[in-house]
Structure 1
Amino acid sequence: MTMFKARPPAGIDPTGVSEEGAAVYDLIRDDIISGRLEANDRLIVGELAKRHGYSGNPVREALQLLRAQGFVIMVHNKSARVRPIDQEFVRDIYEIGVLTEPALTRWFVGMATDDDIAELERLQEAMEANNFADLILHSELDTRFHTLMYERHYNRLAAEIWWKHREVLRAVTRRFQFTLARRAQVMRDHRELIQLIKEGEADKAAALVAAHVEGSGRHILEQMRAASVARAS
């Protein structure tokens, strides 16, 4: 059972929608991330409104926000469907992360407080205690770990792009298991990153995060390719 649900950086998500629209957005996004709604499933306003107990307007608001985040596509600007997340899309997302996350990390190292470091250590201890037994819990803890580093950055657009892409990748990773090698690498990277932050080594921390993000992206692509081969055989 998860301890908490990771939340986006303040002021980022969801934005520009009513309170009801935000609530429906959370429900539909969770359905997509969990797999209850699958790629290319039609998203019919009336059915979603009935399913979640809201009127049509909040559902329309939620679908527009999910469209902006890359979870939903509109066909002929009319019919909404769950977006298929293919290998090219995942590659593009993680390559953007390799470019942006080191810059966010470098800034964080320069302003991290003792309380920030203590919270990173607490989250890392929780991840190690869980040891990937509960993959959803790991995902929430890992997201909170990185959100703590990026949420106060002055460039809100960069933080917003990171969050949107992070959520898409989280939706993909829930379909697969981490390899033992990747699990070990994630833990090593986090521990080393915390130490570099303590030492104020901004450039080294940024380089480590770049490698960490690329490693995560490549691992996801390998899992997707393997699943594609298995389906074809």
Structure 2
Amino acid sequence: MSRDAASGDGFEAQASIYEMIREDIVAGRLASNERLKVAELAERYSTSTNPVREALQQLRGEGFVVMEPNRGARVRAIDADFVRDIMEIEVLIEGALSRWFVSVATAADVAALEAIQDQLEANDYSDRLLHGQLDTRFHQLIYDRHYNRHAAELWWKHREILRAISSRFPTSLSRRAAVFREHRELIAAIKAQDADAAAACVSRHVEGSGRHIIEQMGMANRNAFRRPME
């Protein structure tokens, strides 16, 4: 699936078996530690067994699925540790990609980033789908030109994982303000050709987003624990 399709309209209609299983894991429709039987999944998603096997291998590589000898596949818990691990890797990747971008960025690139940021702030999270599309475009402009395609693709894979997880939770007003501020600071660092500042800014940005997801997960868990007692 293309990046545009993943972030655009009609996601469900265009989704691959891999994406549908991943979404069901993140949403909790496939529960933590649940056994994943190929034949049952093939029936669930109205497909043959080969696409399911391929999807499980891809999800295993991303950490969503655990495979054990003689026990098959099961769902890995989507918890704070999972998000933390991805966030720590992303801090390194995005910092390095942003640092390199400063060395090649043009005035046209800066203008394009400012235009996208203007649209993000005008939308102000009122349309979450549009926000996601614009935010993706903002970061793609910085990362997609990098010569290390493996690093850029790893960023994209992790972004999609965090997108899927964060879609379950609201974005706090303080985090919304921080996202806009951090984007503006990043643009300023790129415009000033300050690679160290750009790398530091995007690292704070990634860490802030990861912490926010972990906080929202914790609040959801606490609310779920209290609800039966009320």
Name the TM-score class by shorter chain.
0.7 to 0.9
1:80-159 aligned at under 5 Å gives the runs: 80-159=73-152
* 8 A Cα contact 1:43 1:80, kept in partner: yes
Q: Aligned AA for 1:220?
A: I
The answer to whether residue 67 in structure 2 is matched with residue 74 in structure 1 is yes
Question: Which residue is 1:160 aligned to?
Answer: 153
- Secondary structure of the corresponding residue to residue 73 of structure 1: strand
Local SS of the residue matching 1:95: helix
Give ranges in structure 2 of 5+ residues lacking alignment. Answer: 8-14
Farther-moved stretch of structure 1 (212-221 vs 142-151): 142-151
- The percent identity for this pair of structures is 59
Deviation of residue 61 (structure 1)?
1.0
Question: Per the alignment, in what secondary structure is the counterpart of residue 85 of structure 1?
Answer: coil
- Aligned pair partner of 2:20 in 10, 15, 27: 27
Equivalent residue number for residue 178 of structure 2: 185
The alignment partner of 2:74 has SS state of strand
Residues 77 and 205 (structure 1), Cα distance of their counterparts in 2 relative to 1, 3 Å cut: farther
On the 8 A contact 2:91/2:203 being kept in 1, the answer is: yes
C-alpha separation in 1, matches of 2:5 and 2:122: 18
Could you tell me which residue of structure 1 aligns to residue 200 of structure 2?
207
Task: Report the CA distance shift for 1:61/1:221 in structure 2 as closer, same or farther (over 3 A).
Answer: same
Aligned residues: 216
Report the TM-score, using the length of structure 2 for normalisation. 0.79
Query: In structure 2, what is the Cα distance between the partners aligned to 1:45 and 1:30?
Result: 17
On the 8 A contact 1:71/1:168 being kept in 2, the answer is no
Gap regions ≥5 residues in structure 1: 8-21
Query: Partner of 2:54 in structure 1?
Result: 61
Q: Hey, what does 2:39 align to over in structure 1?
A: 46
Looking at structure 1, the residues matched to 29 and 116 of structure 2 have their Cα atoms a distance apart, in angstroms, of 28
Compute the displacement of 1:6 (Å): 4.9
TM-superposition CA deviations, 1:160-202 (whole Å, max 9, x none): 3323322222222112111111100101111221232223222
Structural RMSD (CA): 2.6
Shift in Å, 1:38: 4.4
Is 1:70–1:168's contact at 8 Å kept on the other side of the alignment?
Answer: no
CA 1:79 to 1:222, structure 2 compared with 1: closer, same or farther past 3 Å?
A: same
Give distance in 2, aligned partners of 1:55 and 1:6: 23
What does 1:5-24 align with in structure 2 at a 5 Å threshold?
5-6=5-6, 23-24=16-17
What is the rounded CA distance, in whole Å, between the counterparts of 1:90 and 1:155 in structure 2? 24
Using the alignment, how far apart are the partners of 2:31 and 2:133 within structure 1? Answer: 21
Deviations 1:93-124 (A, max 9, x none): 21222233211101011112444334433432
Residues 67 and 73 of structure 1 are in contact (CA less than 8 Å); yes or no, is this contact kept in structure 2? yes
> Please, what TM-score do these two structures have when normalized by structure 1?
0.78
Residue 212 of structure 2 is matched in structure 1 by: 219
Cα distance, 1:232–1:36 mapped onto 2, change above 3 Å: closer
